[in-house]
Amino acid sequence: MRLSCLPVLLAAVSCDTGEHRWVSTSRDGVVEISQAFASESVTGETAAVYFALRNRGPTDDTLEAIVVEGAGSARIHESGERDGIRVMAPLSALPLPARRVTRLVPGGPHVMLLDLARRPVAGDSLRGVLRFRSGREVSLRAEVHGLTELEDVVQDIRRNAG
Ligand SMILES: [Cu+2]
């Protein structure tokens, strides 16, 4: 019998059945992060990180802080359009409604890494921690993808979203 992946067994245990199947949960199992990936940096100084956050609990929570190794800071950004131009605006926090999945995707909300010590390239893995208003924490591991692969990654995640 093939061992199946038990995503909520232990926080930060990775699963080798597919790179987007990686899942990490808060110690109490309420908040879960999955499908984390990052885009290769164009300028070398910033990079965007995307993931899905599932709040299994009966109460709302809020993502308040992100720390990523090798990044001077990490900010939550919202994407939008103004006069036909793609713009980004910082969000002070990201609400996680109870019993819902909140997705950070290209063209939508994302985490922006600033002041990177080293330019992330495809194949790298970024590591960090997400902190929530409730005091929960989840670890982050985001594979870096080249800009040309991003659309494929998003398609793959949409297919596997459930
Ligand atoms: Cu941004």
| 77-133 per-position pLDDT tens digit | 998 888 888 888 999 999 999 999 999 998 899 999 999 998 898 999 999 999 999
Task: Say how far apart CA 145 and CA 151 lie, in whole Å.
Answer: 10
Distances, alpha carbon 157 to alpha carbons 50, 54, 83, 95, 122, in Å: 11, 15, 30, 22, 18
Quick check: is 151 in a domain? no
What's the structural domain count of the chain?
1
| Residue 4 pLDDT > 50 | no
Instruction: Give 17's pLDDT tier (boundaries 50, 70, 90).
Output: very low
Which tokens belong to 54? 């599932």
- Kindly state whether residue 66 falls inside one of the protein's structural domains: yes
Residue 20 CA, ligand 1 centroid: distance in Å: 22
Interval 39-88: pLDDT, tens: 987 777 889 999 999 999 999 999 999 999 999 999 999 988 888 888 88
In the reported structure, the alpha carbon of residue 46 is separated from the centroid of ligand 1 by a whole-number distance in angstroms of 8
Average pLDDT over residues 132-151: 92
Other C-beta atoms closer than 10 Å to the C-beta of 44 total 12
Give distance in angstroms: CA of 1 to centre of ligand 1.
44
Torsion of CA 19, 20, 26, 30, to 10 degrees: -150
- Which of the pair, 129 or 10, is modelled with greater confidence? 129
Domain for residue 85, yes or no?
yes
Asked whether residue 7 is domain-assigned, the answer is no
Specify if 98 maps to a domain.
yes
State the distance from the centre of ligand 1 to the C-alpha of 116, rounded, in angstroms: 14
Task: For residues 5-31, give the mean pLDDT.
Answer: 62
pLDDT score at 85: 87
CATH number for the domain spanning 77: value is 2.60.40.1890
Tell me if 1 is assigned to some domain.
Answer: no
- 54 within domain boundaries: yes
Q: What is the pLDDT of residue 134?
A: 98
Decide if 111 is inside a domain.
yes
In 59-132, which ranges are E strands?
A: 61-68, 71-82, 85-91, 94-96, 100-103, 110-116, 125-132
**Banded model confidence at residue 15, pLDDT cuts 50, 70, 90:** very low
* pLDDT-based confidence at residue 25 (cuts at 50, 70, 90): very high
**Residue-range definition of the domain harbouring residue 96:** 19-146
Provide the 8-state DSSP code for 3: P
Distance 100 CA to ligand 1 centre (A): 23
Q: Please, are residues 69 and 51 in contact by the beta-carbon 8 Å criterion?
A: no
